[in-house]
Amino acid sequence: MSLRDEAAELDMRDPLAGKRAEFDVDPDLSYLDGNSLGAPPRGVAPRLAEVVGEQWGRRLIRSWDEGWWDAPERIGDRIAPLVGAAPGQVVVGDSTTVNLFKALVAGVRLNPDRPEILLDAATFPTDGYIAESAARLTGHRVRRVPVREMASAVSSRTALALVNHVDYVTGELHDLPVVTEALHSAGALAVWDLCHSAGAVPVPLDAAGVDLAVGCTYKFLNGGPGAPAFLYVARKWLDVFDQPLSGWAGHADPFGMTPSYAGGTGIRRGRTGTPDILSMLALDAALDVWDDVTIDQVRAKGLALGEFFLRCLDELVPDADVVTPRSRGNQISVRRPDAKATMGELIARGVIGDYRPPDVLRFGLAALYVRYADVLRAAEELRALR
């Protein structure tokens, strides 16, 4: 059987094949960049039209009491099962960067008299920027450590460690339970960045005893450009979670207008300012695509897509320098000296991925809408550009 025939057979037998129809994706494109920006679910546009035309346009300020104000917690509870969390521990709002700041400052407050923050050495840049900023404000020192060395690097001086679940360049999937256990064994807290794993791979936050986590919603959760991020606080910390951005939305009585701050109960303590309702409710609509599918199904297809893509590369581009290890998220990365120019050519040919400096092509395998034919096409176009 040829690769093309095999791709057709796999797409025909794919139990998630029908999900692609729920997305507004150009049928002539092979979109392999859902690890940067997810494709729009078709239900988002009509929902936003209703929000603007009816909730905002007709109900006006009354809509705050008709579902707007509680949206951050309600939508957080929709995301919770996708990251292995029980209800009441996830809140949506602000950006990943802002939530990282909240988590890091609150985390060192939860674990005082420990002067060190460990940082994933290969972290996404903003994590490092925010960690350094939080450390300056709290009197801590940041030490960058490869994830594989976390267990030996953590000590009684470590307040917490900030770790990326999936490496954003290589796509490597780190062992969240094992790393978390190693950190806890030394008395340190575990803070995880889930931006490249939420909606792509199972994330056992509660089961692994993770303390704090953050993640974005515009990648594999398809919330749209700039969609609000989420913050996870383990139940054991909810009553004492003392985040630094004590805005009115996190107040116990936000409409009481009292001059002093009193944190709300539960995950509300993670809120800061007025929720961004239009993007918040666009995300709410986007999450409807998960109503009849599980993260385990998505993971199974993501792995199968990756295996097929690797076989296509082996046969069609045998000299391809694949940098993604076997333990991976739903992403395949290929090193190529002319990566930026190559990706520009691929995009011109209808295969949309992205690249990361200096020399890595990234192909995201968003299982809800990526087809086996798409990854075969990517390999074929790479061969044509050799």
* Tokens encoding 230: 């989420």
Give me the catalytic one of 23, 101, 218, 355. Answer: 218
Give 292's contacts (C-beta < 8 A, 6+ positions apart): none
Q: Is 301 a catalytic residue?
A: no
193 is an active site residue: yes
Task: Give the residue from 39, 10, 1, 2 showing the smallest Cα distance to 373.
Answer: 10
Selecting among 23, 31, 124, 309, the annotated active-site residue is: 124
Take residue 232 and report the two structure tokens written for it: 């996870």
User: Is 335 known to be catalytic?
Assistant: no
Side-chain-side CA neighbours of residue 288 (13 Å): 15
For 293, other C-beta atoms within 10 Å of its C-beta total 16
Task: Out of 33, 193, 211, 354, pick the active-site residue.
Answer: 193
- DSSP SS3 for 333: strand
Helices within the chain (DSSP H only): 3-13, 44-50, 71-79, 96-110, 125-138, 150-153, 176-185, 205-208, 277-286, 295-316, 339-348, 372-384
The residue annotated as part of the active site, out of 219, 268, 336, 377, is 219
Distance CA 364, CA 356 (A): 13
Could you tell me which of 212, 206, 122 has the C-alpha nearest to residue 160?
Answer: 212
Active-site residue 255, yes or no? no
Spot the catalytic one: 362, 363, 371, 374.
362
User: Known catalytic residue: 232?
Assistant: no
On whether the CB atoms of residues 331 and 197 are closer than 8 A, the answer is: no
User: For residue 294, what are the contacts with CB-CB under 8 A and spacing of at least 6?
Assistant: none
Catalytic residues: 124, 193, 218-219, 362
